Structure 1
């Protein structure tokens, strides 16, 4: 008997799911299929677990989830309260109930939402009560239909970071057979998102509400909560794309349920054109991200995450007060936020990629519009806005951010208020972007991804650039080079390289955390002294040249 078959049969003996048991029995003599499931395992990291549904330790299934729940339970004190949410993907409700059963059997007090909820609802609830020690969200966000995932939040309502993730991972490794775990039953069930909606309805958004919006939840779980939030805030009800309105784990109208993907917004844009709408808003399936599109003279234009981030930063900082406010973005997002923060006299910080790091950035920032170590001689930071270029935003008021994670629903409200205010003045979001560029310079951003078949090529490319970094890119001298694997700007070490170029341009290169590719984040900064259209054309040309130069040094 092969080692793979022995492991598969051991898995079969403890698997409570008839579906994955049948899957395994059908492939017991297929070493290739067994290797795909048992040759490695899903790693528990700072985003929890995420992977394809199926049998074995390298898939998302009931055994994997129960082991994760047991590992989490081992890291928590008995008696603590844990809130569990789930989206509408295949298996999500079952995984939530399995998590509750394991946690209850370990002496914790789990509670589960009665119906699928957006991720921000779970994240907000997790930090709302002093006796909640953790939260679990069963979701794969915008991954393909075949995937599911498991995201863990700590008592502060933020995603876990090291060393908590490694401690939980070690505890998972120590879990024995899941059919020997003590299981509880009869946990409380929460009905709805009222607590979150109460918080959203208290945000300061400004008084304008005359705006026509088309909205798509992308077959996800955002629709009902977003519509209730808009109603409470006094906005006209957005027109929902009917083909994508209901939760559907198969995502039948999109090749990839991510609003960043080409074609994902086609149905929403078509409906907006037919209705003469002012604005298109899209959430991803778990509603933690927000995409925005607006009409332009050449047709509908989808704004980048950096463009929306800059607009929302201005909006939040205009509706909050105090020099202790903090605005945070990541090292791969636009440097525009630094300039905006300085103009408003508030503190600014950069973090590693991922919202878990944005939420932790406050303890390591200081100064007005700067970075540095925390100081005992000033008030603590009050994080009022955070964003990442991948369509993630956390908006707040004078109390701080509403959710300690990205939140596509409150961001949608803020965008709607911003667009309504601009409409009253006879302007659009594009006009606001032009005004911002005139004040702070045009910050144009783009990305380049280099996919490989062999992961060793990524390691080799990063080593080559570390050993011999380029002295110029696209004719721009490299003024400084940071190897982010070493401590830099108070950031934790990460596998990344940053090149600062003459004129304020910048390139960051890092391996993807989820796919076999190198991700390159490009930015050029140009002053706007005349025709903004000409400046944007120059910036587009500069980005093309920079993309070609970076591609060349990676080849």
Structure 2
């Protein structure tokens, strides 16, 4: 799994690491990650410097390859990673929550099962059809838990076995998806919901340090950190930025990525995130409560922070460029009936953020960010609506209002961008 490589760099004192991975990409695509010696992914200018070295090569025969001095690692590095996972959980915490788990045809299964066994959780029930590594991903169109249909087999297994939660990794196991029983069926939690739950759990355990997230993630994390008197930072999208935050204790982004042990792994880690969310589910289970109950508590305490995404997958990348150009030439003055109080073109950067190809609109009680995906042929629009909640009895009305505004934002943004 990718998190094991990120751990190994720091554990072994390596100067760099390379991961070739299926990740959550289509079967025809490999992902390629490069880490430097601090265990986090490369950022400018290292990326351009590496690219320049690649461009300077005219023939592979000219690249020196030493015949000796190589060391092939054994399972000792994996054993060290698993030992490090002990640091994630609180001593003597409840370990009773039962899970259904899917590896999404990837490489997470054996490592996650070993970590769960080591922690003393009940053995996860596997989604057998997706348990073995398979680069063809035969049961899913895209091996990403966020994609429609990707979790169907996990939901079916949960209906059979009635666990407390469903855990899914993407194929390289650096992302963690969570699904819960709601009413008579199961639903995926949004990445922002899991991020808030993990943050609240760490605050309750007395965690100290900086809480950080990407700018496209929910502003609820900032509210939680502020209430707990903890430092809080926003970064550009991607863990290459989040992992570099000084004094980082917890970092997340809405695309199912969570860094819960930055001293061990300075990247998102779907194995340790699964351990921590299962510890939280176990703690709540002892109180006859659920993850959804805690989300309601957070909404009453901080306001309902509802998020959604409008994502358009394209064959022709020029469609994305035209949509961004259209928004820059004719920025919307209102969306969903809410006036745009601030429109920012992030290509120039801000006083806290380096330049990036993105647009940010601040509205009364809402926020919209539009950017091309960095890993897929998609235009992504990240939406957030914040609705005050005075009492628990107001929650249904707040959810209804948030859903109404989110749907209107999608429609108006589609029109404004010409997508």
Report the aligned-residue RMSD.
Answer: 1.6
Partner of 2:355: 493
Alignment partner of 1:301 out of 164, 174, 187: 187
Residue 289 in structure 1 maps to residue 150 in structure 2: no
Alignment partner of 2:216 out of 304, 307, 332: 332
Partner of 1:412: 274
Partner of 1:199: 84
Which portions of structure 1, spanning 4 or more consecutive aligned residues, are displaced by more than 4 angstroms?
451-454
Q: Name the CA distance, whole Å, in 2 between partners of 1:253 and 1:204.
A: 33
Q: Name the CA distance, whole Å, in 2 between partners of 1:306 and 1:401.
A: 23
Contact 1:306 1:333 in 2 (8 A): yes
1:291-348 deviation line (CA, Å, top 9, x unaligned): 00111114101100000011011112222444xx111111111111110110111111
Residue 224 in structure 1 maps to residue 85 in structure 2: no
Q: Name the CA distance, whole Å, in 2 between partners of 1:412 and 1:516.
A: 28
Q: Name the CA distance, whole Å, in 2 between partners of 1:252 and 1:464.
A: 38
Contact 2:98 2:121 in 1 (8 A): no
Contact 1:205 1:414 in 2 (8 A): no
Q: 1:515 to 1:320 in 2, by over 3 A?
A: same
Q: Name the CA distance, whole Å, in 1 between partners of 2:415 and 2:307.
A: 19
Unmatched tracts of structure 2, length 5 or more: none
- Taking structure 2 as the reference length, the TM-score comes to 0.94
Alignment partner of 2:71 out of 177, 188, 204: 188
Residue 435 in structure 1 maps to residue 300 in structure 2: no
Partner of 1:522: 383
Contact 1:204 1:319 in 2 (8 A): no
Tell me how many residue pairs correspond in the alignment: 412
Q: Name the CA distance, whole Å, in 1 between partners of 2:33 and 2:417.
A: 33
> Deviation of residue 534 (structure 1)?
2.3
Partner of 2:127: 241
Partner of 2:367: 506
| SS of residue matched to 1:316 | helix
Contact 2:89 2:279 in 1 (8 A): no
- Taking structure 1 as the reference length, the TM-score comes to 0.72
Residue 271 in structure 1 maps to residue 157 in structure 2: yes
Q: 1:287 to 1:457 in 2, by over 3 A?
A: closer
| SS of residue matched to 1:252 | coil
> Deviation of residue 460 (structure 1)?
3.7
1:268-307 deviation line (CA, Å, top 9, x unaligned): 1111111111110000111000000111114101100000
Give the number of the structure whose alpha-carbon radius of gyration is greater. 1
Unmatched tracts of structure 1, length 5 or more: 1-117, 363-380
Residue 531 in structure 1 maps to residue 394 in structure 2: yes
Q: 1:215 to 1:541 in 2, by over 3 A?
A: same
> Deviation of residue 515 (structure 1)?
4.2
1:103-134 deviation line (CA, Å, top 9, x unaligned): xxxxxxxxxxxxxxx0000001111233x110
1:65-120 deviation line (CA, Å, top 9, x unaligned): xxxxxxxxxxxxxxxxxxxxxxxxxxxxxxxxxxxxxxxxxxxxxxxxxxxxx000
Q: 1:524 to 1:315 in 2, by over 3 A?
A: same
| SS of residue matched to 1:259 | coil
1:488-526 deviation line (CA, Å, top 9, x unaligned): 1411101111000012x1000112234444211111000
Partner of 2:248: 383
